Structure 1
Amino acid sequence: MPDLFVYGTLRFPEILEALLGRVPRLSPASADGWRVAALPGLAYPGLVRAEGRAEGLVVEGLAEAELEILHAYEDDDYTVETVPLTDGRRALAYVWRHAALPDAWDPAAFDVAAWVPVCVAFRAELPRDRAPREAG
């Protein structure tokens, strides 16, 4: 499975745990020619083409079913594209399809603890065959 470049809510281990039931391996990454933009009226960001560099992480070792869960989580407001990373790797990324604000999204201002229940509820609504299996 391809790696996934994450720059917003999926960069937080707590969010990945709530969605997938585990935290896959994460490594720092960045992509030139992109920025992590604040979105009007939304707590989460979008990746948009722009001068500069988008900072984030690469999620490695996702199973196909896990990637499907993340695709569903990100919904149709994003397209999935392969982006080149500054270290020479390539990874899938969720690219925002609509207008974004000129401001950068600030991950330090994101309330992870408030978002985890949203992710737990999303996971609970998945069809049984798409929900990740619990370890143990």
Structure 2
Amino acid sequence: HAATTGDRSHAATTGYRAHAATTGCGSHAATTGYGSHAATTGDWSHAATTGDWSHAATTGDWSHAATTGDRAHAATTGSKAHAVCVGIGGRVKIGANGYGMLTWNDGARDRTVTIYEGEDGVEAGVWYELRDGKPIRCDDEENAA
């Protein structure tokens, strides 16, 4: 476990099922283990994971959450924040004026789709995943693809 509360602080973990959390502005949280989690609550904060089934979440404005493991999740609730899932089968939740990026494979190569809050019916605070390269609302997290 790693946790910080000061401004511009950092937290990092590398173990399996590890956690990293920050609450200060400009803070960062990173995990690399499977089943790991990273969370920030300060503005301009960042959260990143690289293990499969990992999660990253931010709540501050202009914050970022990114995951690279397959079936991982990235969520932001702040205005103009970004959520990115590089792994196949991931899900994103974005805030007002935010955007999310999801990855899928079309049979020949990996492709990325960007969704924007307020466009094409995309809503803030809702989980989205890709099916056949199209973003779909994911109301039931247990049954997400």
Which structure carries more helix by proportion?
1
TM-score (norm 1): 0.22
Higher-RCO chain (CA-CA 8 Å, sequence separation at least 6): 1
The structure with the greater share of residues assigned to strand is 2
Using structure 2 for the length normalisation, give the TM-score: 0.21
